[in-house]
Amino acid sequence: MEVCYQLPVLPLDRPVPQHVLSRRGAISFSSSSALFGCPNPRQLSQRRGAISYDSSDQTALYIRMLGDVRVRSRAGFETERRGSHPYIDFRIFHSNSEIEVSVSARNVRRLLSFQRYLRSSRFFRGITVPNSSNILDDDYNGQAKCMLEKVGNWNFDIFLFDRLTNVMVQEDYHSQNPYHNAVHAADVTQAMHCYLKEPKLSKSLTPWDVLLSLIAAATHDLDHPGVNQPFLIKTNHYLATLYKNTSVLENHHWRSAVGLLRESGLFAHMSLENRQLMESQIGDLILATDISQQNEYLSMFRSHLDRGDLCLENANHRHFILQMALKCADICNPCRTWELSKQWSEKVTEEFFHQGDIEKKYHLGVSPLCDRQTETIANIQIGFMTYLVEPLFGEWARFSNTRLSQTMLGHLGLNKASWKGVQREQSGSGDDVDPAFEEMDSDILPQEPRLS
């Protein structure tokens, strides 16, 4: 996936390195003139997932999520091992034919990407490449290019964009996850892009704020294992031990993002103090997506709105709003059009049911919402919208009362009504709410939204 985000140029203490070492799913930031001046084509072939800066257009920041190259991690930072799937492999749920089809499709995408980089390597050898003045964009033409021009549209179809661009899931986003994969990360990043364009934010945010927000959105579920925190805790997964059973996944996503950034050398030109500040603030954003902290963040947001004391000239207030924006982006699926929202609902429910299947197979006790024999998509979605999505987006609409916020609430209402229709067909009653949500700890259930 590639997104072009218009962004004022950050001042640099010294020139950006001529190239950055890449890894699968790496992020790189470099001037085109430096990067394309004298690199080794072999190094370029490893630039498969990146954030890159093109000096020919000094307001463009490009986010790529395409990587499929394995490069050994450099010594100096390896807080966690890569590929942190639980001890049970999800592939036990796939037939051999399904695995073979997946491998075949992946190989085709690799061939397509090889052609792209072959064209680039010819450029470096002095062979003329047509229309190569902006080589960063040359990979994406036709329909995909047209779609990118509309990336700020709330109806942006991330599934179609995935197919058009032959997205290759990088190592730290697992394609076998039905929901928590690179397409979800791309969807959240696109939603964040839309929020950053909102009037209150666009006129107040600094380039630093924008960069942090997009990186946090792109990495907020990095290396997600496809199971939830309670599963990791009850199986004594090493991540649960490492983070003392607290925001286990979110801490892992953050630290994985930090490892990725350090490995790529993205901010090598910055002072140590600024790098540490950036890593810490990215962590604050990613940790805010922990749904168990929903009530705390929502209460703070509601209190600020009640007092009317949010001042976006204040860096702390801006950072808090970015946390809320990322929380919205992370669970905005019910606020998309029905065609898109329904696909996301099916994917996240299937991931729940995958976990439930594992728990049944190994006699672990099936987690709430994860039993495919007793749960339905409709019940799960109605509970999710009622207890988590409506309160959050109701308050967001109070903060940013724009056409977009009203559009999201409109889609939310229509989608909830649609699922209630499905629920009535299945049970003969439209008044049921999934008991799993009612049984959740009241501390993590937000209050009803106040739209006044």
Catalytic positions, written as ranges: 180
The DSSP result for 170-214, as a single string, is -TTS-TTSSSSSHHHHHHHHHHHHHHHTSHHHHTT--HHHHHHHH
> Would the annotation count 50 as a binding residue?
no
Residue type, 147: M
> Which residue is associated with the tokens 């796939």?
94
Query: What sign results for the dihedral spanned by CA atoms 350, 361, 247, 174?
Result: negative
79 CB-contact burial (10 Å; exposed 0-12 / middle 13-18 / buried 19+): exposed
Question: Does an H or E element contain 64, and which?
Answer: strand 60-64
181 is in an annotated binding site: yes
By the 8 A CB rule, do 83 and 65 touch? no
The reply to whether 309 sits in an annotated binding site is: no
Residue 220 labeled ligand binder: yes
C-alpha closest to that of 153 among 416, 328, 336? 336
Q: How many CB atoms lie within 10 A of CB 261?
A: 23
Tokens for 248, please give them: 């286990």
Residue in the block written with tokens 């996936």: 1
CB 22 within 8 A of CB 69: yes
d(CA 384, CA 62): 33
Six token digits for residue 74:
């450099």
Q: Which candidate, 3, 57, 59, 9, places its Cα nearest to that of 27?
A: 3
How far does the chain reach from its first CA to its final CA, in angstroms? 39
SS3 content of the chain, % helix, strand, coil (to 5): 55, 5, 45
Q: Is 180 annotated as a binding residue?
A: yes
Q: Is 330 annotated as a binding residue?
A: yes
d(CA 30, CA 50): 10
Q: Is 422 annotated as a binding residue?
A: no
Give the whole-angstrom CA distance, residue 211 versus residue 361: 43
Contacts of 42 (CB under 8 A, 6+ apart): none
Is 13 flagged in the annotation as binding?
no
Three-state DSSP class for residue 120: helix
Q: Could you tell me if 415 and 341 are in contact, meaning their C-beta atoms sit under 8 angstroms apart?
A: yes
Question: In this structure, what token pair is assigned to residue 409?
Answer: 């609430």
Structure tokens at 284: 């604050």
Q: Which residues contact 365 (CB under 8 A, 6 or more apart)?
A: 234, 359
Binding site per annotation, positions for AMP: 180-184, 221, 330, 381
Annotated binding site for Zn(2+): 184, 220-221, 330
